[in-house]
Structure formats: structure tokens, C-alpha cells
Amino acid sequence: MVVAGALVANGLLLLAQRSRPPELAGMWELPGGKVEPGESPEGALERELREELGVETVVGQQLAGDVDLAGGLVLRAYRVELMSGTPAPLDHSDLRWVDARGLVGADLVDADRAWVPELSGMLRQPEPS
């Protein structure tokens, strides 16, 4: 299993830019990673976010539906609350906070697209121009 975190603060969602593998480099994703043997999905996500972003988090509600990945893996996403630290791209090319419009316009990895409608509902809507 692979887990991903939807870190939302002040109506904005944190996206991380992939640096690898080559076919995904430059695309944006919800940060996270693989669940190791003996770990709960929630524990794995807290560990991955500590390693990738340098932050302490608390994992909350699971987002609707799992996504099938290559190799028989399953991707599961959770809402995540930032407890301490400032996210830094320790394992990614860049980080970006996006509102609902920014999320829809982001070049997301395919696996994370399933959650865009649900995530958009959690985010600040852009001001009318």
C-alpha cells in the first residue's frame, strides 16, 4: 500500500513536485510513500511526511476511495493536519500551496486526480475577478 497526505492549512493544499522517476518528474502530487511491513497506513504517512517535508502531522479522515497503482499496489489518501514545522522539499523539487483553482490547474500525477473534486471542496475558492 502507498499513502498520500492532503495537508490543508488556511484553505490551501500543499502539493509536492516530483523529482523522480523520469516519467513523473516535474508533475505535482500529494506527498507520501509506501507503507512498510508492520506499519499502519496512518503511521506510515506521518513517517513519510516527516522524512519528505520535515514536519510533524496528525493523520485524519481518509479521502473517498482507493486508487489502483501498477504492480498491484493501492494508493490511499488522508486529510492531514500540520502540528509543527514548516514544510520543506527534502525529497521533492518544489512545494506549492494551492487554492481550488490552483489544484484544478496543476499538472497532477494521474493517481491523485481521483480526489480533486473532494479536495476542491476543502479549499479556498479564488476571488472573482
Range of the domain at 16: 2-122
pLDDT at 9 over 80: yes
Cell 523520469 belongs to 22
Q: Is residue 7 part of a domain?
A: yes
In a domain? residue 76: yes
How confident is the model over 18-51, as pLDDT tens digits? 999 999 999 999 999 999 999 999 999 999 999 9
In this structure, is residue 52 part of a structural domain? yes
Looking at the domain assignment, is residue 128 inside a domain?
A: no
Q: Output 34-41 pairs: Cβ under 8 A, ≥24 positions apart.
A: 34/1, 34/2, 34/3, 34/73, 35/1, 35/2, 35/3, 41/1, 41/3, 41/76, 41/78
Reported as a pLDDT band with limits 50, 70 and 90, residue 129 is: low
| C-beta separation of 98 from 26 below 8 A | no
> Can you read off the three cell numbers belonging to residue 77?
489518501
In eight-state DSSP terms, residue 70 is G
Q: What is the pLDDT of residues 57-86, one digit of tens each?
A: 999 999 999 999 999 999 999 999 999 999
User: CATH number, domain at 97?
Assistant: 3.90.79.10
Q: Do residues 126 and 101 lie in contact, with contact meaning Cβ atoms separated by under 8 Å?
A: yes
User: Measured between alpha carbons, how far is 88 from 72 in angstroms, rounded to an integer?
Assistant: 31
Domain assignment present for residue 115? The answer is: yes
pTM: 0.94
Within a domain: 127: no
Residue 129 domain flag: no
Q: How many domains does the chain have?
A: 1
Q: Is residue 64 part of a domain?
A: yes
